[in-house]
Amino acid sequence: MGRLEGRVMVVTGASSGIGRAIALALAAEGAAVVVNYQHSRAMAEEVATAAVARGARARVVRADVSVARDVAHLLHDAVATFGAIDGWVNNAGADILTGETRTWPEESKWDLVMAVDLKGTWLGSRAAAELMRQQGGGAIVNMSWDHVLQGQGDPTAAIYAAAKGGVLALSRCLAREFAPQVRVNVVAPGWIRTAWAEGLDGARQDAIVSQTPLARLGAPEDVAAAVVFLLSPESAFITGEAILVGGGVVMA
Q: What is the pLDDT of residues 154-164, one digit of tens each?
A: 899 999 999 99
Print the domain residue range for 118.
Answer: 8-245
Of 37, 88, 145, 160, catalytic: 160
Cα–Cα distance for residue pair 116/245, rounded to 1 Å: 21
Is the Cα dihedral 11, 198, 156, 169 positive or negative?
A: positive
Q: Measure CA 111 to chain center.
A: 19
CB crowding 206-227: b at 16 or more within 10 Å, else e: eebeeebeeeebbebebbbbbb
Looking at the predicted structure, is the pLDDT value of residue 52 above 90?
yes
Per the prediction, the chain carries an average pLDDT of 96
Give the rounded percent of residues in the chain with a pLDDT score beyond 90: 91
Looking at the predicted structure, is the pLDDT value of residue 209 above 90?
yes
Query: Is residue 3 domain-resident?
Result: no
Query: Is residue 181 domain-resident?
Result: yes
pLDDT score, position 66: 98
Query: Is residue 151 domain-resident?
Result: yes
Phi and psi at residue 182, in whole multiples of 5°?
A: -120, 130
Instruction: Tell me, yes or no, if 37 is annotated catalytic.
Output: no
Cα–Cα distance for residue pair 114/119, rounded to 1 Å: 6
CATH number, position 113: 3.40.50.720
Looking at the predicted structure, is the pLDDT value of residue 1 above 80?
no
Query: Is residue 13 domain-resident?
Result: yes
Over the stretch 100-131, which tens digit does the pLDDT of each residue have? Answer: 999 999 999 999 999 999 999 999 999 999 99
Amino acid at 56: A
Read off the pTM.
0.96
pLDDT score, position 99: 84
Query: Is residue 250 domain-resident?
Result: no
Which of these, 244, 128, 243, 217, lies nearest to 181 by C-alpha position?
Answer: 128
Number of structural domains found in the chain: 1
Residue 184: pLDDT band with limits 50, 70, 90: very high
